[in-house]
Amino acid sequence: MENSKLMDQEEHQQEETNLLTRRYFLEIVGGGAIGVAAVGSMVLTAQFLSPNVLLEPSLKFKAGSVENFPPASVTLNKEQKVFIVRAREGYFYALSAVCPHLGCIANWKGEEGIIACPCHGSKFDQEGRVLGGPAPRSLVRFSLLLDEQKQLIVDKGLVVGEDVILKV
Ligand code: FES
C-alpha cells in the first residue's frame, strides 16, 4: 500500500515535470513568434513612413559662356545630347539632339545648314523643324537661361515652345 502511494506520488511529480517542460517550450516558441511578428510589422511601418523617392541627377546643366558661341553657330553638346544654337541675330535657343523618330543622336551638317539623323535619314532645319524623313515631329526645344556669370543654363526638364529664344 505504502509502495503504491509512493509510486503514485512519483508519477504525479513526473507528470508535473513534463507539463512544466511543455509549458516552457510553448512559452519560448510563442514568445519567439510574437517577437518575429513585431519586428516584421516595425520594418513594414518604417518602409511605409519613409518617402518613396527616386533621386535622379538634375536635368539642368551649364552649357558654357555666351562668348563661346559665335553668331550663326550650332554646337552639339555630346554629353548632354543638346544643340546650342546661336542665330545670326545673336539670340540663343537649345534643341534636343535626340531624334524624335527612334531616339538616335542627330548631327549638325554645317555645309548643308541642316541637322541630320544618321539612322533613318530624318532632316531638320536650324530651328529643329522636320524637313524630311520619318521623324514625326520637330526637335524638342529646352529652356535656356543666363546666370549671373553669363553662363548659359539649359534645363532639359523644361520644354518650351518653338518661338522661345534667349536674347543676350
Ligand atoms: S532615329 Fe532618327 S530617323 Fe530614325
Whether 115 and 142 map to the same domain: the answer is yes
Distance CA 38, CA 104 (A): 52
Task: List helix spans (H) across the chain.
Answer: 2-49
Looking at residue 15, what is its pLDDT? 72
Quick check: 7 pLDDT over 90? no
- What average pLDDT does the structure give for the chain? 89
Q: Which of 35-49, 137-151, 153-167 has the lowest mean pLDDT?
A: 35-49
Q: Which phi and psi angles does 43 have, rounded to 5°? A: -65, -45
What tens digit of pLDDT does each residue of 9-39 get?
Answer: 777 777 766 666 766 667 777 777 787 788 7
Binding site membership of 98 for ligand 1 (Cβ less than 6 Å): no
pTM value is 0.69
Query: What CATH number does residue 99 fall under?
Result: 2.102.10.10
Binding site membership of 87 for ligand 1 (Cβ less than 6 Å): no
Whether 47 and 3 map to the same domain: the answer is yes
Residue found by looking up cell 549638325 in the block: 108
User: Residue 107, by phi and psi: left (phi above 0), alpha (psi -120 to 50) or beta?
Assistant: beta
Binding site membership of 102 for ligand 1 (Cβ less than 6 Å): yes
Distance CA 59, CA 73 (A): 24
Query: Which domain covers residue 19, as residue numbers?
Result: 1-55
Give the atom of ligand 1 at the shortest distance from the alpha carbon of 121.
3
Q: Judge whether 166 lies within some domain.
A: no
| Final residue before a domain boundary, out of 55, 79, 97 | 55
- Alpha carbon of 130 to ligand 1 centroid (Å): 12
